[in-house]
Amino acid sequence: MSKVIYDKDGKPCRTCNSLLDFQAASGKVPKDKKLATPRRKDCPPDVNEIGRSSWTFLHSVAATYPETPSSEQQTDLRTFLRLFSKFYPCWYCGEDFEKYQVKNEPSVESQEKFGKWLCDAHNEVNVKLGKPKFDCNLWQQRWKDGWKDGSCD
């Protein structure tokens, strides 16, 4: 039996449950449960699409965050992360990110610390979804500078 995520109004959360993606991400959807009709490209985004886009955005923020941010920039980033989790389209994921921030206060003292903190947060989600962890020592190559082999040039 698959887990259904309900919205705060008691109805199944469309964003969280779209196309069984919540379960598919963890490899728990049997082959006979796959949809017969291919998903159109102009449908509302599902949880996987929102997640990928959100991580790309957040890692890009880390890559452009000042190397030595002012106290105001640090406060603004903490506020942004708190609000981001509150307004995240999948409330289940947003609450999970909010809990992560309570357990692991965002490290916003420098670009390096924030990039690694965010990578660790992303890895925690990857583990929950059964995905491999990313080597957080490589976050700047992946999201800021490009790979050393020049493949991003």
pLDDT tens profile 59-86 = 999 999 999 999 999 999 999 999 999 9
**pLDDT per position as a tens digit, 28-57:** 555 555 555 676 788 888 888 899 999 999
The mean pLDDT of 99-115, rounded to a whole number, is 98
**What whole-number distance in Å separates Cα of residue 149 and Cα of residue 102?**
38
CATH architecture type of domain 47-145: Up-down Bundle (1.20)
Tell me the pTM. Answer: 0.78
Q: Is 6 helix (H, G, I), strand (E, B) or coil?
A: strand
Residue with tokens 């039996």: 1
CA 74 to chain CA mean position, Å: 20
The mean pLDDT of 93-117, rounded to a whole number, is 97
| CA-closest candidate to residue 112, choices 152, 149, 62 | 62
